[in-house]
Amino acid sequence: MSLREPQSTFEQEVAKKRTRLAQLEAPMLRALEYQKSDEYKAESLQVLQKIARVVSSGTMNRDQALMTIGRIQQMLDDWKAPEAIIAEYDSIRATLNRT
């Protein structure tokens, strides 16, 4: 039988957040480095150029436009992935700092 009292819900949540923060630390640092890279800058430019082409093109039919928009959405999701990791890390860290 353990002498230690069961953890409160609050303590359990804090422990989960600390675990998640530790899991995100390395990916967050890689994401920050990636955002400084030439590859990220090139991808950013490519996404913006593709959006500009779709917006300026009046010759696409509805199906072509929808397919292109789908591809652009996927590119944007991939492009924004590092920011999502950084945002989650910062959010958890800020929550833990308030506790």
Distance CA 22, CA 89 (A): 9
In a domain, 79, yes or no: yes
* Domain region containing 83: 10-98
**Number of domains, the chain:** 1
What residue has token string 């953890």?
7
Tokens 């989650």 correspond to: 88
**Model confidence, pTM:** 0.68
- Give the phi and the psi of residue 37 in degrees, each rounded to 5: -80, 160
Query: What are the structure tokens assigned to 60, written together?
Result: 């696409």
Q: pLDDT by residue for the chain (99 residues), tens digit each?
A: 455 666 789 899 999 999 999 999 999 999 999 999 999 999 889 888 877 877 777 777 888 878 888 888 888 888 888 999 999 999 999 999 998
Number of H helices, E strands in the chain: 3, 0
Residue 3 lies in a domain: no
